[in-house]
Amino acid sequence: MENLIGIFLNSVFVGNILLAYFLGMCSFVAISKNMETSVGLGFAVVFVLSITAPMNWLIYYFLLSPGALAWAGLPGVDLSYLKFITFIAVIAAMVQAVEMVIDRFSPALYNALGVFLPLITVNCAILGTSLFMVERDYSFMESLVFGIGSGTGWLLAIVSMAAIRIKLRYANVPEGLQGFGITMIMTGLMAMGFMLFSGITL
Amino acid sequence: MSSTIKSIAFAFVTALVCSVLLTAASSGLKSFQRENVEVDQKKNILKAVGLIQDNKVYSKEAVKKMYADSIQAVRVSSNGAILKQGEAVDTALPVYIYVKNDQIESYIIPINSRGLWGRIKGYIALENDGSTIAGFTVYKHSETPGLGGEIEKRWFQKNFKGKKILDRQGNFVSISIAKGELSPSFPKEKKPNYVDGISGATLTGKYLTAGLKRTLQDYEPVSIKFRTKQFLQWHSGK
Amino acid sequence: MKLTASKHMKAFSTPLVQNNPISRQMLGICSALAVTVQLKTAIVMGLSMTFVVAFSNLIISFMRHMIPRNIRMIVELSVIASLVIVADELLRAFLYDISKQLSVFVGLIITNCIVMGRAETYALGNPPGLSFLDGLGNGAGYGSVLVCVAFIRELLGAGKILGYQVVPAGVYGLGYENMGFMQLAPAAFIIIGLLVWLQHALSKTK
């Protein structure tokens, strides 16, 4: 149990998928101008990650990894090279489903998110979480917690950035730095701040 | 209707072409990849006993030759006895022996410890006195670069050399990673059982310490045999 | 003849500076920064990326009149994913050590906005030759930003370039220390921000 809490806290703070591993930047930079859409997108990412991480775990360990097909009588088969393509297909399907759910329950949010909802599919953080999960040999429960944690970390980062950008409207940013440049520098400073969490001991 | 059929047909053909291409690429390159993994493992074992230096480049053939000349891979049973080639025992543990001029110089134990973010894999080498560490390497981990990731660096690993896994009284205590740098006020008689930790990576150190202790405990029967001088000569064909 | 020649040149050179995917279009930073700790990995990453973008542009451009509208994205994704898998398999076979350092980031080229973006905005509407060059240009533009960042990070953070010690030992003796901060994540963000600023400033004075 302590292990799971550890993975959760670490994926939110010290190993924040965005601030430590640079994943999920594209939509992060574009959406963080507005607080409501940031929150909406953040929660959508949490939802998609919580489902795709364990789902990809099942697919990897029962279909693709070396020896996984033993239950079908094919223990010598190693399909792990198909993991990229399979994971992205699962993610695309999942995002399609989430899109339909949001459209049904909150058309306002659906319109606000616009094109960025389908762009969750190519959000590096989603695929990255599944790939890290495979690389780190996580168990099923660990991958579930890792998915939720990564999503929460991403949500935290994008909401914080949106809040900072609201304040930034009253600052005198040099012309060359406006928009992308200052966002990058701010992200760097936020990343530094998050590194302070490495001092936590459970 | 026909456009749907056209879409399905197109999707099917695309899937087919992709699968064929990928399977061809994967099986065609498999032998190269397997060789790379094998040479990599040999390199890591050789590194643990210092036969390979970090900043030098070694060709694949050089590594293979060095390994064939110096290292023997054996399996031991849970009570420390070396198993013969075909012997099948459930609890067999792998050990790598560094042989020089028919003498066993050191033995290398594979480490598979829990880390903060994933498994930590490496090798720890012990001298033929069964209690002094000859070397330590980490070849796979998922720790945060700059923090726990420092365990793969030379500065961290070289501190292990010369440390002891037995305390003054001869009891097994394993090797522990301290929290941050060992302070000057640290008790002198405990120092041989501790190495400097990594600041900001206390948890990585904690998990690695526990993992090392568990593994070294499993191999204690082998270490005891070394301490009581039961393993000194290497007989080829054993 | 001269007109087409310059058109090809433009297809390649525009994404290099004026329309650089990272600093202008703000795309594709995702997998970029994590590999910029060392120059070696950044170069390999840039080359892998260029390979994928150029060939995916080429293939998708060939098929552009055949792809049914409604499965457009999925087909593009399949092409891109397959190319990435091929690149990954090649790296693991021939550049094993570097592929270990690149770990999951090669796979993340699939989700890199540049590849998908160029496929959608350029390859679908242009002939294969130009699409290929556009892919090369974008890959090169992306790679050049990576290389700049990695050069700075490796030089200041470890005193090395491509693994070779560049800062002489004597300088360390005088009290100089490697800027450890450069090897950590935040440094990459800040360096990119500053580089973007530099590029803006330079393009204004032209």
Q: Which chains form contacts with chain C, at 3 or more CB pairs under 8 Å?
A: A, B
Minimal Cβ distance to B117: which of A10, A82, A195: A10
Note whether C149 and C36 are within 8 A (CB): yes
- Residues B34-60 have a mean pLDDT of 85
| Complex ipTM value | 0.76
Q: How far is CA B139 from CA A74, A78, A144, C39, C42, in A?
A: 31, 23, 27, 21, 21
- In this predicted structure, what is the pLDDT of residue A144? 94
Q: Quick check: is C45 in a domain?
A: yes
Query: Does residue B62 carry a pLDDT above 50?
Result: yes
B61-66 mean pLDDT = 89
Domain contains C157: no
Q: How far is CA B199 from CA A199, B150, B153, in A?
A: 9, 10, 14
User: Would an 8 Å CB–CB cutoff place C100 in contact with chain A?
Assistant: no
Whether residue C202 lies inside any domain: the answer is no
* Alpha-carbon span A87 to A122, nearest angstrom: 11
Which chains touch A (3+ CB pairs under 8 A)?
B, C
pLDDT at B185: 85
In angstroms, the first-to-last Cα distance of chain A is 12
Whether C73 maps to a domain, the answer reads yes
Which of these ranges, A105-119, C97-111, C148-162, has the smallest mean pLDDT?
A105-119
Note whether residue C75 is domain-resident: yes
Any domain includes C123: yes
Reported as a single tens digit per residue, the pLDDT across A118-129 is: 778 778 889 889
pTM exceeds 0.90 for this model = no
Which residues, numbered 34 to 73 in chain A, qualify as contacts with chain C under a Cβ-Cβ cut-off of 8 Å?
Answer: none
Which residue among A15, A82, A85 places its CB closest to the CB of B117? Answer: A15
Which helix (H) or strand (E) segment holds residue B2: the answer is helix B2-48
Q: Which of A18, A22, A132 to mutate to test the interface with C (most CBs of C within 10 A)?
A: A22
C69-104 pLDDT per residue, tens: 777 878 888 889 899 999 998 998 888 888 888 878
What confidence score (pLDDT) does residue C175 get? 80
Domain extent, residue C72, equals 19-150
pLDDT digits (tens, 9 = 90+) for B70-89: 888 888 887 777 777 666 67
In SS3 terms, chain A reads as CHHHHHHHHHHHCCCCCCCCCCCCHHHHHHHCCCHHHHHHHHHHHHHHHHHHHHHHHHHHHHHHCCCHHHHHCCCCCCCHHHHHHHHHHHHHHHHHHHHHHHHHHCHHHHHHHHHHCHHHCCCHHHHHHHHHHHHCCCCHHHHHHHHHHHHHHHHHHHHHHHHHHHHHCCCCCCHHHCCHHHHHHHHHHHHHHHHHHHHCCC
Q: A181-190, B46-55, B155-164: which has the minimum mean pLDDT?
A: B46-55
Task: Answer yes or no: is pLDDT of A182 > 70.
Answer: yes
Whether the per-residue pLDDT at B180 is higher than 50: the answer is: yes
The predicted pLDDT at position B237 comes to: 42
Q: What is the mean pLDDT of residues A14-19?
A: 84
CB pairs under 8 A between A and B: 35
Cβ within 8 Å, pair B146-C66: no
The size of chain C, in residues, is 206
Residue of chain A whose Cα is closest to the Cα of C111:
A122
State the average pLDDT over residues C173-200.
Answer: 83
Is there a contact between A84 and C84 if contact means CB atoms under 8 Å apart? Answer: yes
The 3-state DSSP class for residue B127 equals strand
Please count the structural domains in chain C.
1
Is C5 among the domain residues? no
Q: Cα separation of C21 and C8, whole Å? A: 18
- Closest residue by Cα to residue B125 from B111, B109, B113: B109
